[in-house]
Amino acid sequence: MDSIKIAVADDHTLFRAGLKRLLAREKDLLVTGEAGRAEEVAPAVAKGKADILLLDLKMPGGEVVETLLGVQERHPETRTLILTAFDDEDLILETAKAGARGYVLKGVSPTTLFQAIRTVHEGGIWIDPGLPQAGEFSALAARQNRPDLNRKEPDGIDTLTRRELEVLKLVAEGRSNEEIATDTFISETTVKAHLHKIFDKLNVNNRIKAALALIRRQG
């Protein structure tokens, strides 16, 4: 039986070391890469052609949504399982929208973690039913990863004005509306107006999908 190749991304060196030792006990689980910063995640995934990415929410050097979108775009065959200590409802749903297939808290037993990894590897969705928004996470994760979402269609990027494209690039970098307003010397109200037009032109309903459209075009 082929091993499930795993990339471990967490900013705590001791936690990564302990997790690698734990995973090494299982004959079908093999750690092929690791990362301690956001910019190291994609190279770690590529290094060992990871099947599964275990990703912490809080990584220095970048936002988790940006990291997820980048991995999803460059390595669509890799399935991401969030492994974190945080159970914030908004963060849980944001990761599902950005392509995560599972969400596990660091306090779970090794057996539960192994089960989550294998379930996600086999194409399933995993989240503790006791977590906030567990049902919505599962629905979002399943919808975001439907094969028909990857079909090639006009993305609408070419219809954006220069200002709208500038705003979208900042969105893709993980900037907030307030930060975008500061960087572009416009008001937050104007930023929101631009985003509304961008969503309409790209036929999307949130900033994550808009950012993904741009990343796909640039890829």
The last residue of a domain, from among 149, 183, 208: 149
d(CA 160, CA 201): 7
The yes-or-no verdict on residue 24 having pLDDT over 90 is: yes
Residue 51 and residue 113 share a domain: yes
Residue 188 and residue 140 share a domain: no
Report, as an integer, the average pLDDT of 125-141. Answer: 87
The yes-or-no verdict on residue 17 having pLDDT over 70 is: yes
Q: What is the pLDDT of residue 149?
A: 45
Residue 159 and residue 143 share a domain: no
The yes-or-no verdict on residue 157 having pLDDT over 90 is: no
Residue 84 and residue 19 share a domain: yes
Confidence tier at 126 by pLDDT (50, 70, 90): very high
Residue 213 and residue 123 share a domain: no
Residue 179 and residue 139 share a domain: no
Confidence tier at 45 by pLDDT (50, 70, 90): very high
The yes-or-no verdict on residue 182 having pLDDT over 90 is: yes
Query: Residue 103 belongs to a domain with what CATH number?
Result: 3.40.50.2300
Give per-residue pLDDT as tens, 62-105: 888 888 888 888 888 999 999 999 888 888 888 888 889 999 99
Q: What is the pLDDT of residue 1?
A: 62
Percentage of residues of the chain with pLDDT beyond 90: 56
Confidence tier at 146 by pLDDT (50, 70, 90): low
7-11, 51-55, 155-159, 201-205: least confident range: 155-159
Residue 144 and residue 40 share a domain: yes
| Average pLDDT over the chain, rounded to an integer | 89
**How many domains is the chain partitioned into structurally?**
2
Q: Are 52 and 6 in contact (CB under 8 A)?
A: yes
Query: Residue 204 belongs to a domain with what CATH number?
Result: 1.10.10.10
d(CA 78, CA 176): 28
Residue 126 and residue 89 share a domain: yes
- Phi–psi pair at 12, nearest 5 degrees: -100, 115
Listing from the earlier edge strand, what are the strands of the sheet with 4-9? 29-35, 4-9, 52-55, 79-84, 102-105, 126-127
Residue 92 and residue 66 share a domain: yes
The last residue of a domain, from among 93, 119, 149: 149
Neighbour tally for 161: CB within 10 Å: 12
d(CA 173, CA 161): 19
Report, as an integer, the average pLDDT of 186-210. Answer: 90
Structural domain boundaries enclosing 173? 152-218
Alpha helices in 25-104 (DSSP H): 41-48, 64-74, 89-97
The last residue of a domain, from among 149, 175, 203: 149
Report, as an integer, the average pLDDT of 47-57. Answer: 94
Residue 176 and residue 122 share a domain: no
Residue 142 and residue 98 share a domain: yes
Residue 144 and residue 115 share a domain: yes
Confidence tier at 154 by pLDDT (50, 70, 90): low
